[in-house]
Every structure is written in C-alpha cells, then in structure tokens.
C-alpha cells in the first residue's frame, strides 16, 4: 500500500486530521489545493506538485498562492547523483525498484508473447477492453 488514504474530490470538505498531512498532487487543480490547505491549516506539512493531469482545472485558476514545491523527477535524480555519486545512486535506485516489485508482483499477471501476430492480437484485445488492467505485456520480436 503506497498511500494511507485516497479520496475523491467530493469527499474533501469532510476531511479532518489530527496529524501532519502531506499532499502529493498529480492533478494540478489549484482550487482544490487551496481548499485542502485551508482545511488542513496548521496540520498541512507540505504539498508536492508532481503533475498536471486535471486539464479542465487548468482553465479555472483562482487568485492566491499555494504553499508547496514542485517535484520534477529528472531534477531530483540529478541532485541525488550529485550528492551520492553515480554508482551509489544506481545501487539505491535498483534496490528501491526491487522493493516496489516485491510489494506489487502478486497484484499483476505477466503475459509474455512473441511475434507480430501475437502483438496485433493483444492490441486488438486491448482496444476492445478485453485485457485485464493488471496484465503486463512483454513482447519479443
């Protein structure tokens, strides 16, 4: 489990916490983020701006500033390489991905296939919605 809790937008006004809160924002919905920062008030620890996936929200940006910082993975990687050196970074990066895989591998099924015909077949299944979302496709050509 990566997150303590995942909520829908409509649930935001009812949120109440007693411990410091981190917001990891992938949507980029400024109005929602302002609402969250107001609700959390002194319990708001930090907000990391990671993405802008809520395209509609980009048309409505209310006035006011947000507290938080932009998290841009390529810049973070450069910083870690500078601090740790390339060899240590690669070792830690590999270790972190091993932990991720161990935590999620039971949730996915792997479908290995070979050849163009098999690729076309899986593509058609994907387009028709016939492949389960937890199926990972690995093709060899």
Question: Per-residue pLDDT averaged across 131-138, rounded?
Answer: 93
Give yes or no for residue 83 having a pLDDT over 80: yes
* pLDDT tens digit sequence for 94-127: 999 999 888 888 889 999 999 999 999 999 999 9
Q: Find the helix packing angle between 86-104 and 73-84, rounded to 10°.
A: 130
The CA distance from 89 to 74, in Å, is 13
Query: Which range among 48-52, 108-112, 114-118, 134-138 shows the weakest confidence by mean pLDDT?
Result: 48-52
Q: What is the mean pLDDT of the chain?
A: 88
The CA distance from 8 to 119, in Å, is 36
How far apart, in Å, are the Cα atoms of 114 and each of 121, 122, 136?
A: 11, 11, 14
**Pairwise pLDDT comparison (59 vs 141), residue with the higher score:** 141
pTM: 0.55
Confidence of residue 136 (pLDDT cuts 50, 70, 90): very high
* pLDDT tens digit sequence for 6-28: 778 788 788 778 888 888 888 88
Q: What is the reported pLDDT for 62? A: 80
For residues 12 and 37, the answer to whether their CB atoms sit within 8 Å is no
Residue appearing with tokens 């932990």: 99
Q: What is the reported pLDDT for 129? A: 94
């Amino acid at each position: 489990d990566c997150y303590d809790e995942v909520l829908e937008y409509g649930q935001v006004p009812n949120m109440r916490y007693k411990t410091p809160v981190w917001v990891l924002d992938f949507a980029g919905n400024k109005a929602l983020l302002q609402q969250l920062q107001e609700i959390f008030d002194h319990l708001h620890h930090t907000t990391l701006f990671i993405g802008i996936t809520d395209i509609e929200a980009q048309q409505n940006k209310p006035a006011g500033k947000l507290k938080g910082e932009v998290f841009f993975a390529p810049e973070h990687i450069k910083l870690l390489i500078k601090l740790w050196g390339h060899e240590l970074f690669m070792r830690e990066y590999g270790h972190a991905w091993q932990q991720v895989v161990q935590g999620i591998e039971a949730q996915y099924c792997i479908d290995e296939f070979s050849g163009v015909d098999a690729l076309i077949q899986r593509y058609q299944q994907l387009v028709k919605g016939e492949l389960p979302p937890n199926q990972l496709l690995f093709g060899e050509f």
